[in-house]
Amino acid sequence: MSRVIWKGAISFGLVNVPVQLLAATRPERTSFNLLDKETADPIGYKQINKRTGKDVRRENIVRGYEYEKNNYVILTDDEIRAASPESTQTVDILAFVEAYSVSFLYLDTPYYLVPERQGKKAYALLREALAKTGKIGVANVVLHNKQHLAALIPAGPVLALNTLRWGGEVLDIGDLSLPPAGAKEAGISPRELEMATKLIDDMTEQWAPEHYHDTFRDDVLALVDRKVREGKTHEISEGARAPARSRKTADVVDLSELLKRSLGRGKGKHAA
C-alpha cells in the first residue's frame, strides 16, 4: 500500500476537499555499493576538508550558500527553518489551465490524492469537472518543508498531484542548433512527411505501461542471480560485458527509402 505523506485538503474556491496525499511511484533503480576489491568490504563516506585533506568532525560542519565563486554566506539551521515556507497541509489551487498547455518538461514527481470519507462527493465533483473541461489545476503545496508548484490532474478515478519544475528550472532552447520549424522550411518533401505520418500511424497502439520493462535492470538481476547460484559472490567478473550494439541512423542518402522500408514492419518493439 502507498505511504500516506500527509492528511489535509484541496482548497477549491470556497470549497475544501479533505484528502490524503500518498506516494504514487516506487523507484526500481539498479544501484551498486562500492567495495574493497580485495576483501569485498563496503567503502565508507568520509567528510574531509577539501583544501587540507583533514577529517572534519560533524559538529564543525555548517551550511553555506555560495553567492559568488568561492565566497559563502554561512546559515544556521534555525535561520534556514525561519526562511522556509510554513508547513501546511493544503493543495491551494491558484488557477486552471488547459491540460495540453503544460509541457512534459515541467512534470516532476507524481502523488495520489485520496478523499477522506466526508469529502468523497466534493472530490468526485472536482475530478469530473476537470475531466469534462480538459483542464488541470495549478496549485501551491508544501512538501517536506519545501514549497512546490504542482498540477492537479484527473487520472481516471483518481486525482493526481504532480509537482512541477519552476519556470527558471527548465532551460531555454534559444541556444540549441535546431532545424527550422515547418516541413517546407526544414527541407522536408510532402512525400517524406506523408510516409513518416503513415509510419507513426502504423506503430500507434494503446498506452500500456506494463508492456515496457527496464531491460538493463532485468539483465543485471539475472546476472546477480546466476553468480549467486554459482557461488561467485566475491569475484570480480571481467567477461560479463554486454556486446556492443550498432545504432541505426536516419542520416542516409535517401530518407524516403528508409521510411518506405520501415512501413509495413508492424508494431514497434517495447523497450525501456
- C-alpha cell read off for 203: 506503430
What pLDDT is recorded for position 228?
76
- C-alpha cell read off for 7: 492528511
**Which CATH code fits 4-26+84-169?**
2.40.290.10
Specify the pTM. 0.71
What pLDDT is recorded for position 234?
60
What's the CA gap between 110 and 146, in Å, rounded?
A: 16
Residue 64 is inside which H or E element, if any? strand 63-68
Domain boundaries, the chain: 4-26+84-169, 190-262
What's the CA gap between 139 and 130, in Å, rounded?
A: 14
What pLDDT is recorded for position 243?
54
What pLDDT is recorded for position 158?
96
Task: Kindly state the DSSP code that residue 153 receives in the 8-state scheme.
Answer: E
pLDDT truncated to tens, each residue of the chain (272 aa)? 677 888 999 987 778 899 999 989 887 777 777 777 777 777 877 888 888 888 898 889 988 888 888 888 888 888 877 776 767 788 999 999 999 999 999 999 999 999 998 899 999 999 999 999 999 999 999 888 788 999 999 999 999 999 999 999 998 888 889 899 999 999 999 999 999 899 889 989 988 888 877 777 777 778 777 777 777 666 544 544 445 555 554 444 467 777 777 776 655 555 44
